[in-house]
Structure 1
Amino acid sequence: MKTVALALGSLALALTSAVSAQSWPSRPIKVVVPFAAGGNADITARLIAKQLSDDLKTPVVVENKPGANGIIGLEAARMAAPDGYTLLVAPSSPLVVNPVLYKKVPYDSVKDFEPISQIITYQYVLVVPTASKITTLPDLAKQAREKPGALTYGSSGVGGGGHLAGELLALQMDAKLNHIPYKGTAPALADLLGGQLSFTWDTVMTTVPQVQGGKLRPIAVSGPQRTASLPDVPTMRELGYKNYEITQFVGLLAPAKTPPQIIERLHAGVQKAIKAPEVIKALKTDGGNDLVGSSPAEFKSLIASELAFYRKLVSDANIKEE
């Protein structure tokens, strides 16, 4: 009788989930962003939320839950009911860096979330102040080898994209670079502009206005191909670093066990959203990102491969949590 009762209970739960999925959405949807307003993930989330709201005919609101390098926001999304009313827009770092950098995080990036779609991918630009004597990558490499540790670079903090891009550069140059962690990219950029840092790796969205204003000189980009926003700036591969490639992503996810019908509907919504002119302009034309709109299976595969990539990088560079 106990076995029958359990089976009936499971069937009832399945039927309830199916009915819920069919009537979804019947109330506002919340999108958790694990960082403060104004960053790449937040900008992306707000653009996509507006498009999804129009598409689903229901309010889709963004809720910022910053702290602990994204851990607080991801934990909040993990603990939410898997009913399609709480979603997560997250960049790479909390999903694929935190689990390999920190000894313990309260979530499993693979098991605790249902990938919906990778929205964008973006790369970094290696920039120096225009007054710097460094004008090329060989200049930087020469100085780094002649004076180990003398060249400084800033980032948003240990484990941030700019930090990892710098560590990969140091490994492949076989040189010591001095990492200076900040509490965000803005103060690091301010110190670079003020001449307190030798260089930084930062996003195209952040650096292009400074390049166009004549305050920064771009040296290289970190991705597999040049960016349309800086078409004259070569990739690291073009400059002879054949194994150098580091990019970041922003994607949409839901708590594990969210009904597949809802995942499919949201994926279709993202596919539609990234074709909207205002999204293309903000994220691609002005932001220097590549719009993706991958399938849930493709996004899941990306998360797994990026976890493996960063596990090796963190180990090879001996990066320790703060």
Structure 2
Amino acid sequence: MFKKALLAALTVAAGSVAFADTYPSRPITLVVGFPAGGGADAVARIVGEKLGRVLSQAVVVDNRPGAGTTLASELVSRAQPDGYTLLLGTANLYGSDQLLYKSARYDGVKSFTPIARWSNSPMLLAVNKDFPEKSVKGLMEQARKNPGKLTYASSGAGVVTHLAGAAFAHAAAIDMLHVPYKGGAPSIQAVAAGDVDMTFGTPPSVMPMVQAGKLKPLAVTTAERSPLFPDLPGMNESGIKDYDFNLWFGLYGPAKLPPEMVKKLFEASAQVLRDPEVKARLEKQGNVAWPSVSPQEFKDWAISDGAKHKAITQRAGAGADNK
């Protein structure tokens, strides 16, 4: 009996290694829970294109926006763990989704296999061009003199642009009014028009309005200055401690993805993210290539960062299904 069990285990192990050796033998689908043309889509296409070359198979981006990215996450959580359906995921997988959407039936830790961190991006605190203050410290003084009067726009309740603003208000000990919009474009346009005072937006959405002279950037949302925006102060320099908010993306597969396959995808991702052309293209979109040390390091870090986002969501009382 023991010999039969041992033989079976060895056969399975040999088959797994052989499968990993031939993987991938057909195109890989990379599911993205954001529309085409946005920041997440840019990361997926820039890295995915080169990843396909390294793996000698196409990586096809499949945009599945809706319900705050939960439609895309749900799809991948139910996919076969064969390495042909992957997800571009971020911190909301680890609890925020479940707080915001009652329909989210997956668990960030149990339903996915973290493979590799791909990118990191600061967000930008920007105000209308006619806003009287030119610094974060001045903005905070205004907020303290007029509690609840300053407004910040977001692309929806509970999304990253809302959480960045809510976390800022908490760290700065000020009271601001959140104004949600149905999407990033209308929220940015509202600030540019002067209907709302400020936004905590992604670089691709904010910088065109800055260049057009309609928005005025005050700082990056990371603790220190970003090499992407060296002229803008970080939050420590602006007088706000314990505030370090960024937007990252990583590669995930369904739960129980074979270790050999994870290793192959991780090593291929690391090779891609070292490529000078890929790094330059990401930086042009306001992202920094940020490869993880190992799949386990990425997993541990992502769970920790996801817990922070969940706490911000709870503190903000954010909700989508029940707002």
Deviation of 1:189 after TM superposition, in Å, equals: 0.7
2:71 is the alignment partner of 1:72: yes
TM-score scaled to structure 1, two decimals? 0.91
2:275 is the alignment partner of 1:276: yes
CA deviations over 1:189-220 (Å, ceiling 9, x no partner): 11111111100001123322332332221111
1:95 and 1:36, CA in 2 relative to 1: closer, same or farther beyond 3 A?
Answer: farther
- What is the 5 A alignment of 1:252-291? 252-284=251-283, 286-291=284-289
CA deviations over 1:271-308 (Å, ceiling 9, x no partner): 12123333222212x12322111121121012211122
Report the counterpart of residue 187 of structure 1 in structure 2. Answer: 186
- What is the 5 A alignment of 1:54-203? 54-95=53-94, 97-102=96-101, 105-203=104-202
Deviation of 1:245 after TM superposition, in Å, equals: 1.1
CA deviations over 1:63-122 (Å, ceiling 9, x no partner): 111111011101111111111111111233345531454456211111111111110111
CA deviations over 1:253-284 (Å, ceiling 9, x no partner): 11111111111111111112123333222212
2:308 is the alignment partner of 1:309: yes
- What is the 5 A alignment of 1:215-226? 215-226=214-225
CA deviations over 1:99-158 (Å, ceiling 9, x no partner): 454456211111111111110111111101212212222322222222222211111111
- What is the 5 A alignment of 1:201-212? 201-212=200-211
Aligned length, in residue pairs: 320
SS at match of 1:111: coil
Deviation of 1:50 after TM superposition, in Å, equals: 0.9
Aligned partner of 2:125: which letter? L
Kept in 2, the 8 Å contact 1:204–1:229? The answer is no
Unaligned runs of 5+ in 2: none
- Percent identity over the alignment is 38
Deviation of 1:47 after TM superposition, in Å, equals: 1.2
Aligned partner of 1:48: which letter? V
Report the counterpart of residue 244 of structure 2 in structure 1. Answer: 245
Kept in 2, the 8 Å contact 1:126–1:220? The answer is yes
Aligned mates of 1:247, 1:281 — CA distance in 2: 19
Report the counterpart of residue 18 of structure 1 in structure 2. Answer: 17
Deviation of 1:177 after TM superposition, in Å, equals: 0.9
Aligned partner of 2:151: which letter? T
Aligned mates of 2:73, 2:318 — CA distance in 1: 22
Structure 1 runs of 4+ with >6 Å offset: 3-11
Aligned mates of 2:229, 2:26 — CA distance in 1: 43
TM-score scaled to structure 2, two decimals? 0.91
Report the counterpart of residue 290 of structure 2 in structure 1. Answer: 292
Kept in 1, the 8 Å contact 2:94–2:303? The answer is no
Aligned mates of 1:96, 1:237 — CA distance in 2: 28
Question: Which stretch of the first structure deviates more once superposed, 299-308 or 139-148?
Answer: 139-148
